[in-house]
């Protein structure tokens, strides 16, 4: 396929073609789309501009020559992150959360150990058989999930774990609508002889804003996360913890898992400052928008997961659309109308029946509770009324004209 694509162009045309595609992408995604992707957000203008800074391609560390200013930024990032998350140790030079997870799992286990991990489709592949845990040679026991309450099934976990031993209990999910019962989980982990690894990839921004839960304060031993989701920073991963012995293990592993190039330092420094200043307000509005969106879906007689618990306590809303057709087909139709979201499975080995909807990016563009109500109207026109998506797209583009400026950030 690449050969067939490239055969259409002369090599000297490629820069212009790629630049044009990039421009068209930015116009579409940043000015004409309603992005409801639960795993995405948008950078502030300053953080975005700094991603092209020369500091992001230079090495970091006292032993490297020419790093005086890169090291200065690195020190700012380290201190801001420790202060924001109230931790003693932080590592953030990862290309993504999956890499941070791999390092964390390696530090907690030896080959042949048992780990408890959320069963799929909730648990990330990083800590399943076909991810790092499997490659590490670990035995994996399922943490059961209650699809009605949409959270870990504590009673069933107690039953399954009785009399067993394990080194780690890995929690956190890509459909994180309610905080995990960490205090109860920590009791079970203690009986197992395990430490809790909390994957906060999707909810780091809400944690930073103090509006979700405090994983390390509630019993987790180590937390990993993505930087680009609710945290709204550059793409990357982070590890947060408070154990000096664990930090030595991480530092010993880092050269083999991650380079020393400060590929996102300047952008991350700005994002950390923004979240320190605006994080609480931002996280509150994200959650308020999610609740408003879910409530409107409910009033329009959609089946919203978690209704009996207030729909959601995070940025994510789950809507069952199975009675309207295949969720993946519906997602395709919504994208034709410039509305971006994803399909999700309610249970393993079942077709995708849920829409996974996030409110982070629309919140950062300044939308409030009354604005998200309009989004449900657009989606209903596609899902229920079966309108031509291109007609709805015209109204979406007009709607987005009111929301083009990124909020909760500094202007410099």
How confident is residue 150, by pLDDT bands cut at 50, 70 and 90?
very high
Domain ranges for the chain? 48-271
CA angle, 70 then 272 then 177, to 5°: 140
Of 118-132, 288-302, 343-357, 360-374, which gets the smallest average pLDDT?
118-132
Q: Provide the mean pLDDT of the chain.
A: 94
Q: What is the per-residue pLDDT for 383?
A: 98
Q: What is the per-residue pLDDT for 398?
A: 98
Q: Per-residue pLDDT tens for 77-95? A: 999 999 999 999 999 989 8
Contact yes or no for 32/338 (Cβ under 8 A): yes
What CATH code would you report for 48-271? 3.40.640.10
Residue 318 pairs in a beta bridge with 356
For residues 173-191, average pLDDT: 96
Rg (CA), the chain: 22
Q: Global pTM?
A: 0.95
pLDDT at 368 over 60: yes
Query: Dihedral (C-alpha) 64, 66, 68, 72: value to the nearest 10 degrees?
Result: -70
Q: What is the per-residue pLDDT for 1?
A: 42
Between CA 154 and CA 334 the distance in angstroms is 37
pLDDT at 411 over 90: no
Q: What is the per-residue pLDDT for 259?
A: 66
Contact yes or no for 144/160 (Cβ under 8 A): yes
Q: Per-residue pLDDT tens for 101-126? A: 999 999 999 999 999 999 877 777 78
CA 213 to chain centre: 15
How confident is residue 211, by pLDDT bands cut at 50, 70 and 90?
very high
Q: What is the per-residue pLDDT for 390?
A: 96
pLDDT at 3 over 70: no
How confident is residue 2, by pLDDT bands cut at 50, 70 and 90?
low
For residues 144-172, average pLDDT: 95
């Amino acid at each position: 396929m690449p050969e067939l694509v490239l055969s259409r162009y002369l090599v000297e045309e490629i820069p212009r073609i790629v630049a044009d595609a990039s421009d068209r992408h930015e116009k579409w995604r940043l000015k004409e789309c309603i992005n409801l992707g639960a795993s995405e957000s948008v950078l502030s203008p300053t953080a975005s501009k700094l991603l092209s800074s020369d500091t992001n391609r230079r090495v970091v560390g006292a032993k490297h020559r020419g790093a005086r200013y890169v090291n200065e930024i690195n020190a700012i990032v380290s201190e801001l992150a420790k202060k924001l998350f109230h931790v003693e140790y932080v590592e953030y030079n990862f290309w993504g959360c999956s890499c941070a997870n791999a390092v964390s799992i390696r530090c907690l286990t030896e080959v042949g150990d048992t780990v408890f991990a959320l069963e799929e489709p909730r648990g990330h592949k990083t800590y399943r058989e076909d991810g790092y845990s499997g490659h590490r040679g670990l035995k994996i026991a399922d943490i059961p999930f209650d699809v009605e309450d949409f959270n870990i099934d504590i009673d069933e976990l107690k039953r399954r774990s009785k009399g067993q031993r394990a080194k780690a209990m890995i929690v956190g999910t890509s459909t994180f609508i309610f905080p995990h019962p960490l205090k109860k989980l920590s009791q079970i982990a203690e009986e197992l002889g395990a430490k809790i690894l909390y994957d906060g990839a999707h909810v780091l921004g809400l944690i930073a804003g103090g509006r979700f839960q405090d994983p390390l304060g509630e019993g987790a031993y180590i937390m990993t996360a993505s930087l680009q989701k609710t945290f709204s920073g550059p793409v990357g991963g982070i590890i947060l913890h408070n154990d000096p012995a664990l930090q030595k293990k991480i530092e010993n592993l880092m050269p083999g898992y991650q380079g020393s190039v400060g590929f996102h330092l300047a952008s991350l420094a700005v994002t950390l400052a923004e979240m320190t200043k605006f994080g609480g307000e931002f996280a509150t509005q994200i959650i308020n928008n999610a609740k408003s969106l879910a409530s409107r879906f409910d009033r329009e007689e959609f089946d919203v997961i978690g209704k009996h618990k207030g729909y959601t306590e995070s940025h994510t809303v789950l809507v069952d659309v199975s009675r309207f057709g295949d969720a993946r087909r519906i997602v395709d139709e919504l994208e034709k109308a410039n509305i971006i979201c994803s399909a999700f499975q309610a249970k393993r080995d079942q077709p995708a029946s849920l829409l996974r909807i996030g409110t982070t990016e629309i919140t950062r563009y300044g939308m409030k509770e009354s604005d998200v109500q309009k989004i449900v109207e657009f989606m209903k026109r596609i899902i229920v009324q079966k309108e031509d998506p291109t007609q709805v797209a015209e109204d979406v583009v007009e709607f987005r004209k009111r929301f083009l400026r990124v909020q909760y950030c500094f202007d410099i």
